[in-house]
Amino acid sequence: MRAANTPVNNQGKAQPSELFGTVVVAGVGLIGGSVALGLRERLLTRHIIGLDASAAALEEALALGVIDEARTSVGEWLRAADLVVLAVPVKALSPLAQALAPYLSPSALITDVGSVKTSIAAAFEALSVRNFVPGHPMTGSERGGVSNASAALLENAVWVLTPTERTPLTALSRMRRLVEQLGAAPLVMPPDAHDSLVATVSHLPYLASLALTHMVARDERLSLLAAGGFRDLTRVASGDPRMSRDMVVENKLALREALSSFLRQLTHLAETLDDPEELLAAASEGKRTRDNLPVVKRSLLPPKYDLVVAVPDKPNQIGAITRILGEASINIKDIEVLAIREHGGAIRLGLEEAGDVDRAAELLRGEGYMTRNRG
């Protein structure tokens, strides 16, 4: 079923890649289609089956050479899948997971690309699907559908992986490698941390774009005067309304908090109109932050402070370690599985601040873990 070849990953390290004999992409649209094309172009699979509720989407995907075979309903045929990628709208993810689960091979790697992670992570846990690694590539477009799919969309994107306490280290490790083989940069964090962060960087900007477009809709002269600045700030308002609505509603708790912060920011900025020096400071900070965004600089991930932890071969090790550090308010920005041996393995934790490394090491040693700082 699987063979290994040894391409070089985007950090220049030789890494064995996994060949997935049969891949199922459920939801053959913009993101599902892009994953399928990436797998094909990088020779990571022999056969791709598209599963979609829309016969038209499947026909288009076949015609474009994105998939080899089309299916409109689940069934025994799914047992042949070595990798299953769920790429349907957020609201359809959990019902689809439920429909697929009885047919999945226990060795298959399962992932999804949905924009909200706590709900789908919980759904797969409840279904006791073992090798499920929730994911979210931080890239996309306001133009959906397979005709806009491209392997290049995923290249250099940060791809968040949100394992739960039950995700096996081996599954996380396979998923990390797959993301790297697709040219993206994996970043591991708990599902709730992901949802809280995307509320600010993705879901709030979507609501802000709606608010701005609604203001323009009131007066035709405004739309005539709207130039590049307005266009750039409101691009995401052109996305599919139903899909976008469902995405923000699914994350409404975190989004409400982000909205409150945004309203406080706007109120503060309104006050600085009477204090030009303060407004200049805010504008300079805004420029600095925006100019240094990795997506603007086209750089990969920001620097992190690393701690390597030896983990015994027991269940729930990621959960135990993240809980110990979470209780001490130490933020884990990334987790990488460095090695898996019969009697245990090692993971690298990417921490937010230099001082966190010593604090985390002390806490973990206190709980019986062996640690090593990595410069």
Ligand X SMILES: NC(=O)c1ccc[n+]([C@@H]2O[C@H](COP(=O)([O-])OP(=O)(O)OC[C@H]3O[C@@H](n4cnc5c(N)ncnc54)[C@H](O)[C@@H]3O)[C@@H](O)[C@H]2O)c1
Residues that bind ligand X (CB under 6 A): 26-32, 52-54, 57, 87-90, 92, 96, 113-115, 136-137, 140-141, 144-145, 240, 247
Among ligand X, ligand PRE, none, the one that 53 touches (CB under a kind-dependent 5 to 8 A) is ligand X
Number of Cβ within a 10 Å radius of residue 168: 17
115 DSSP assignment = S
Tell me whether residue 61 or residue 311 sits nearer to ligand X (CB atom).
61
Name the E strands within 106-169.
Answer: 109-112, 132-137, 158-161
Among ligand PRE, ligand X, none, the one that 236 touches (CB under a kind-dependent 5 to 8 A) is ligand PRE
The least distance separating ligand X from the CB of residue 307, rounded to whole angstroms, comes to 30
Spatial separation of the C-alpha atoms in residues 89 and 188, rounded to whole Å: 22
The least distance separating ligand PRE from the CB of residue 139, rounded to whole angstroms, comes to 5
Tell me whether residue 62 or residue 197 sits nearer to ligand PRE (CB atom).
197
Spatial separation of the C-alpha atoms in residues 59 and 151, rounded to whole Å: 19
The least distance separating ligand PRE from the CB of residue 336, rounded to whole angstroms, comes to 23
The least distance separating ligand PRE from the CB of residue 115, rounded to whole angstroms, comes to 3
Among ligand PRE, ligand X, none, the one that 88 touches (CB under a kind-dependent 5 to 8 A) is ligand X
Tell me whether residue 242 or residue 374 sits nearer to ligand X (CB atom).
242
Among ligand PRE, ligand X, none, the one that 78 touches (CB under a kind-dependent 5 to 8 A) is none
Closest by Cα among 41, 14, 39 to 24? 39
**118-147 footprint of ligand PRE as x/- string (CB under 6 A):** --------------------xxxxx-----
> Which tokens belong to 153?
């969309």
Told to check if 236 binds ligand PRE by CB under 6 A, we report yes
Among ligand PRE, ligand X, none, the one that 30 touches (CB under a kind-dependent 5 to 8 A) is ligand X
Tell me whether residue 146 or residue 171 sits nearer to ligand X (CB atom).
146
Residue 128 burial (C-beta neighbours within 10 Å; 0-12, 13-18, 19+): exposed
Told to check if 115 binds ligand PRE by CB under 6 A, we report yes
Tell me whether residue 18 or residue 52 sits nearer to ligand X (CB atom).
52
Told to check if 34 binds ligand PRE by CB under 6 A, we report no
The least distance separating ligand X from the CB of residue 348, rounded to whole angstroms, comes to 26
The least distance separating ligand X from the CB of residue 31, rounded to whole angstroms, comes to 4
Tell me whether residue 248 or residue 318 sits nearer to ligand PRE (CB atom).
248
Residue 75 burial (C-beta neighbours within 10 Å; 0-12, 13-18, 19+): exposed
Closest by Cα among 283, 347, 287 to 317? 347
Which residues make up the interface to ligand PRE (CB under 6 A)? 115, 138-142, 202, 236
